[in-house]
Amino acid sequence: MASPHIAGVAALIWSHHPSKSAAEVHSALECSAAMPEEYGNHFKNNFVGYGVVNTKNALALLEW
């Protein structure tokens, strides 16, 4: 069920930064995700992928 949520966040990001490439948006989403503490690490894993999407941080990463 995560795919529709991530697609919506990506669309929101593109509405604010229409000149950004898919790779840039993908990278911003990966780098800004927050890993839940109960999974014990800060890296991608097979249970939650990259973690919980953080739209505000993803937008902030693309501001510069």
Confidence at residue 38, expressed as pLDDT on a 0 to 100 scale:
74
- pTM, two decimals, is 0.81
Cβ–Cβ < 8 Å for 16, 59 = yes
Confidence at residue 55, expressed as pLDDT on a 0 to 100 scale:
94
34 — alpha (psi -120 to 50), left (phi > 0) or beta?
beta
CA torsion, points 57, 31, 1, 13, in degrees to nearest 10?
Answer: 50
Confidence at residue 62, expressed as pLDDT on a 0 to 100 scale:
94
Axis crossing angle, helix 2-16 with helix 22-32, rounded to the nearest 10: 120
Both structure tokens of 38: 């109960």
Q: pLDDT tens digit string along 26-63? A: 999 988 988 777 766 666 767 667 788 999 999 999 99
Stretch 12-30: mean pLDDT, rounded?
95
Both structure tokens of 46: 């097979």
Stretch 7-17: mean pLDDT, rounded?
95
